[in-house]
Amino acid sequence: MRGRCFASRLTLKSDTTAGLHKRAAIDLVPANWYFLHGMFAAGTQTSPLREAPPSRESIAGWPEIAQSVAPFLDQVQQQLAGQVEAFDPEIAPYAKYALANHGKQLRAALTGLAANCVGGWNDSAAKAAVIIEMVHLATLLHDDIMDGAELRRSRPTLANKWDNTTAVLVGDCLFANALRLAAEFPTTDVCRAVSTATRMVCSGEILQNNHQGNLTLDQAEYFKMLRMKTGELFALACELGGSLAGGDQQETRALREYGICLLNTSDAADE
């Protein structure tokens, strides 16, 4: 299913992309100028978008960008809710509570936007978005325990509503179910990418815990942890969205680098 996330057409030729050797036709509206600019700049020496960026007044915020992939996000949310059935009936209420706390679905939106950059979203991209959301939600359950948080997104955390042990085990179940879904793809590449990203996120959490209260931590180490904890799933979303929509290696690599570069934006920091 091809989603229409942009309004007009922009054709980028190989002589201006310095790395994307085939012609790529990409839709563009002001709301997504920075998405495309960042994606190509991450994978090339020079940006193909040489004209000045639109004014701040003409650039839409997150709601309009998310609206451009609204059907994709609806599909992801339906499939995510359906994952409750994969759990034992006694465990299902915990899983349902965890999976319902999806927030802005930033990672899922990135998956859909990345897919649209190279060919359009499809069922495989939607499934990848479900996997990434499950991994993210699992990390939130563990985060809330370590932080002693009582609320997340204006409602009690799972640990607060039940207990820490339940929250830890539900998070583990979400991780395991995400890997089960990843293993269903005909290629092992998806499962390998998801497991690598999951390991990276967990490693970032360990490093953060080790450096808690460390006032001598330098900027490089700080951004290393941020990239591992947050940037890795952004990168995975863009990478899988592109590859599962038919993007070649160079396009997929550029999309992955764009996901990492999102760490430099205020939206990523707020997220």
Nearest alpha-carbon partner for 16 in 38, 42, 46:
46
Question: For the chain, what is the largest distance between any 2 Cα atoms, rounded to a whole number of angstroms?
Answer: 59
User: Chain centroid to CA 270: how far?
Assistant: 15
Q: ∠ CA(179), CA(201), CA(204), 5° rounding?
A: 155
Residue 230 DSSP code: I
CA nearest to 157, candidates 168, 267, 233: 168
Q: At what angle do helices 106-118 and 232-244 cross, to 10 degrees?
A: 40
Strands (E), the chain: 8-12, 24-28, 151-152, 155-156
Query: Among residues 190, 241, 246, which one has the least CA distance to residue 72?
Result: 241
Token pair recorded at residue 94: 């915990």
Q: Which two tokens stand for residue 186?
A: 């005909």
- What are the backbone dihedrals phi and psi of residue 248, each rounded to the nearest 5 degrees, phi first? -80, 180
* DSSP type of residue 263: G
CA distance 128 to 237: 8
DSSP state of 265: S
pLDDT score of 57: 54
Are the C-beta atoms of residues 211 and 221 closer than 8 Å to each other? yes
Distance of CA 20 to the CA centre of its chain: 23
pLDDT value, residue 142: 96
Strand, helix or coil at 1?
Answer: coil
Mean pLDDT of each 10-residue bin along the chain, 271 residues long: 33 30 33 44 38 53 87 96 96 96 91 96 97 97 96 95 98 97 97 97 95 93 93 97 97 96 62 50
Six-digit token string for 183: 């293993």
